[in-house]
């Protein structure tokens, strides 16, 4: 069916999945990844600027991230921003570059991260169900206004449910994958 409400619901559900993907990419797995620093903003001459826009962020090895600021005066503000980020990371400065050692995760910390991933997953599923509810309400309004027949309404609601189920399955798969990644020693 080429229903605009269903297309809109699909777009909104896709955005929820993408937001979930971005959120869990920030969760540490004990391995160095530049995604860990994606949410960090650095005070760049009075303007909060994403870290990757004030320097080159790269992974040196499995346990080390390197940051080379384009402007050497930015070493201190970058250091400060990373310490203030509550990621539990301690950058080491050599005056011109920063190295961030990624400490190995304890078993307890891994379990906390898995709980966090599941919490984000549940929030995303709630968002998907809200999209489904909105779409169904809109479809019922169209039927009430005689723009859809009862059969078309039932068909559209079935399609919306199918779409919701597919997206919830994607989230479950992402949760499983991230949990496996986190628990891997």
What is the rounded average pLDDT of the residues 176-182? Answer: 91
Q: Is the pLDDT of residue 51 over 60?
A: yes
Please state the pTM of the whole predicted model: 0.72
150-183 vs 107-144: helix axis angle to the nearest 10? 170
Q: pLDDT tens, 126-150?
A: 999 999 999 999 999 999 998 888 9
Distant-in-sequence, close-in-space partners of 114: CB < 8 Å, separation ≥ 6? 179, 182, 183
Q: pLDDT tens, 60-76?
A: 888 899 999 998 888 99
110-to-32, 35, 105 alpha-carbon distances in Å: 15, 18, 6
Structure tokens at 48: 């909060």
Distant-in-sequence, close-in-space partners of 49: CB < 8 Å, separation ≥ 6? 41, 42, 43
Residue 46 is classified by DSSP as T
Residue 104 is classified by DSSP as P
Q: How confident is the model at residue 105 (pLDDT cuts 50, 70, 90)?
A: confident
pLDDT > 90: what percent of the chain? 52
Domains in the chain: ranges and CATH? 4-25+106-183 (1.10.132.20), 34-101 (3.30.1360.40)
């Amino acid at each position: 069916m080429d229903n605009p409400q269903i297309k809109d619901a699909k777009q909104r559900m896709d955005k929820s999945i993408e937001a979930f993907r971005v959120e869990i990419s920030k969760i540490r797995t004990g391995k160095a990844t530049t995604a860990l620093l994606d949410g960090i903003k650095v005070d760049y001459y009075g303007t909060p600027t994403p870290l990757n826009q004030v320097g080159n962020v790269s992974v040196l090895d499995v346990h080390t991230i390197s940051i080379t600021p384009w402007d050497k005066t930015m070493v201190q503000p970058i250091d400060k921003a990373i310490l203030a980020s509550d990621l539990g990371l301690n950058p080491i400065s050599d005056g011109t570059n920063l190295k961030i050692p990624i400490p190995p995760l304890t078993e307890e910390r891994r379990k906390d991260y898995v709980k966090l991933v599941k919490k984000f997953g549940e929030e995303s599923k709630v968002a998907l169900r809200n999209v489904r509810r909105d779409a169904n309400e809109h479809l019922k309004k169209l039927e009430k206004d005689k723009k859809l027949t009862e059969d078309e309404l039932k068909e559209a609601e079935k399609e919306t449910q199918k779409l919701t189920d597919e997206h919830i399955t994607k989230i479950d798969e992402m949760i499983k994958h991230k949990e496996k990644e986190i628990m891997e020693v």
